[in-house]
Structure 1
Amino acid sequence: MRLLTLNCHSFMEENYEEKILETVKVIAKNDYDVIAFQEASQSIDSLIEYDNLRKDNYALRIQKELKKLNKDYNLFWDYSHIGYDKYLEGLAILTKKEMISKESFFVSKIKDKSYWKTRKILKVSIKEENEVIDIYSCHLGWFKDKEESSKYQIDEIMKRIDKNRISILMGDFNSEAYVENEGYDYLTKEYSLFDTFDLAENKDSGITVIGKIDGWESTEDKRIDLILSNKKIKVIESKVIFNGENETVVSDHFGLDVVCNLN
């Protein structure tokens, strides 16, 4: 199974339209089974397409462009909060697999969608051969945030994990993997989640952010976009994508491309 997670930054990117098409081209070429997006936004005032999806929804645009290339993906999207007073900032999961079930749920203490620290998570259950797999698209806050720590948010996610199934957590965890005693350690030590980067037979640096980005004072390069599993799985390859070396840069985050065997 091939997985992609990307904090796409959507409308905040320069040359937004070009970057959508570049992202679609790479998705079609690599034929991902599951894709998790974060910061996949839509405009508050855009016309409704169906359900909660508006016509300019980033993930919906991706799905439609893929359809033109004869790539059929099922889509689930929901938003966490309003950004810049004009965007509904959300998460998405696209998959070629059938979605057996899907849900979105708050993980932040704050539930006010007008406040930027409000966080929701998406969960989709799919079938891989004869096994049900749970997929999560995650965009967490910061561990040291006194008002809305990601520690609480991680606890809320882990309450939902079915120990009898493989659960794959994909996304922007806003916690540097090389900093001890913060979110990454809490995920991998307190809750014993496996980092597919560590499990990978072949891998690169894993760095997904270069320099300073919104929400971070640090100018150091960071490994904050992760794909984690509640069970030890066979990971063939983990590599950073959309980083200028492996495909064109399309966001302020690079993507993470993981090939694994879940059976």
Structure 2
Amino acid sequence: MKFLTLNTHSWMEEYQEEKIKIIARNIKEKSYDMIALQEVNQSIEKKCIFKNIKEDNFALVLLKELESLGCMEYSMLWDFSHIGYDKYEEGVSILTKHKIKEDISFFITKSVDQTFWKTRKIIGATIKINEEPIDFYSCHLGWWHDEEEPFKDQADQLLSNIKKDRLTFIMGDFNNNAFVRNEGYDYLIEKGLYDTFSMAKEKDTGVTVKGKIAGWSSNKQDLRLDLILSNKKIGIKYSKVIFNGKNKPVVSDHYGVEIQTEGF
């Protein structure tokens, strides 16, 4: 199976429409089984077209672009985390070409006030492969040193919602640099999660952010913030950074991560 995670920085990018086309063409080419997206925005003032999805929801626009390419098999989930940049409803999304058996969303922050920009929500989907359920979560967590909404509390809340009796993938922007010891990344690994990057037979540097971005305004280092984690040891053929200017053009202030599993 092939998975992709990407913080899209949606509707905040220059040449946004062209970047949507680049993402869509890549999805069609790679035929990912599961895609986790973060910072998936829609305009506050736009019209709802079904449930809480508005007409310019970035995941919906991406889905329509895929359909225009003849790629009709994907469906989407999205939920609203908080107001971003005073004009967007920002959320997390999952796209998959598999039938979704169950879906879930839940807050992981103490705050459930969606006007507060640090409020965080997770979205999850269950699919079946060879009659076995597999869970996937799209995540956008906060920062290790944040006193209002500490990362550790968010991670604990996330892990408390995961079913431990089935294979689970936790994908997204964790806002903690995996190159730094004794902070958020190590906390997740100590809690029993496995990094598909570490398990991959073929891998690159794993760097998903270079320089200053929103939330990392003083950054001068290469960061590995975007991860695909699992709750079990599994075979991983490769883990590659994508949309970094080397493996496909840059489409966001984050690069994406794609993996291919072995055995299923």
Alignment TM class, shorter chain as reference? over 0.9
Equivalence map 1:241-260=2 (5 Å): 241-260=242-261
State the 1:150 CA deviation: 1.0
Deviations 1:123-170 (A, max 9, x none): 111111221000000000001101111100000011012111001000
- What does residue 49 of structure 2 align with? 49
State the 1:182 CA deviation: 0.7
Secondary structure of the 1:14 match is coil
Secondary structure of the 1:11 match is coil
Deviations 1:175-215 (A, max 9, x none): 000111111000001x1200000000000000000111111
Quote the Cα distance in structure 2 between the aligned partners of 1:119 and 1:163: 22
The unaligned stretches of length 5 or more in structure 2 are none
Quote the Cα distance in structure 2 between the aligned partners of 1:182 and 1:117: 19
State the 1:70 CA deviation: 2.5
State the 1:262 CA deviation: 5.8
- What does residue 67 of structure 1 align with? 67
Quote the Cα distance in structure 1 between the aligned partners of 2:180 and 2:234: 24
- What does residue 4 of structure 2 align with? 4
Equivalence map 1:121-136=2 (5 Å): 121-136=122-137
- What does residue 91 of structure 1 align with? 92
Quote the Cα distance in structure 2 between the aligned partners of 1:100 and 1:171: 21
- What does residue 31 of structure 2 align with? 31
Quote the Cα distance in structure 1 between the aligned partners of 2:33 and 2:144: 31
- What does residue 238 of structure 2 align with? 237
TM-score when scaled to structure 1? 0.98
Quote the Cα distance in structure 2 between the aligned partners of 1:231 and 1:220: 30
> Aligned letter for 2:177?
E
Q: Does 1:79 align with 2:80?
A: yes
Quote the Cα distance in structure 2 between the aligned partners of 1:187 and 1:13: 31
CA RMSD of aligned residues (A): 0.9
Quote the Cα distance in structure 1 between the aligned partners of 2:123 and 2:40: 12
> Aligned letter for 2:208?
T
> Aligned letter for 1:10?
S
Deviations 1:20-49 (A, max 9, x none): 111101111111110000001000111112
Runs of 4+ in 1 over 6 A off after TM superposition: none
Q: Does 1:183 align with 2:184?
A: yes
Worse-matched range after superposition: 90-99 or 70-79: 70-79
Quote the Cα distance in structure 1 between the aligned partners of 2:205 and 2:86: 36
Secondary structure of the 1:246 match is coil
Identity of aligned residues (%): 52
The unaligned stretches of length 5 or more in structure 1 are none
> Aligned letter for 1:82?
I
The number of residue pairs the alignment matches comes to 262
Equivalence map 1:174-213=2 (5 Å): 174-189=175-190, 191-213=191-213
Quote the Cα distance in structure 2 between the aligned partners of 1:61 and 1:171: 20
Deviations 1:46-74 (A, max 9, x none): 11121111110000011111122232211
State the 1:261 CA deviation: 2.9
Deviations 1:68-106 (A, max 9, x none): 223221110011000111100011000001100101100
Quote the Cα distance in structure 1 between the aligned partners of 2:253 and 2:122: 21
- What does residue 143 of structure 1 align with? 144
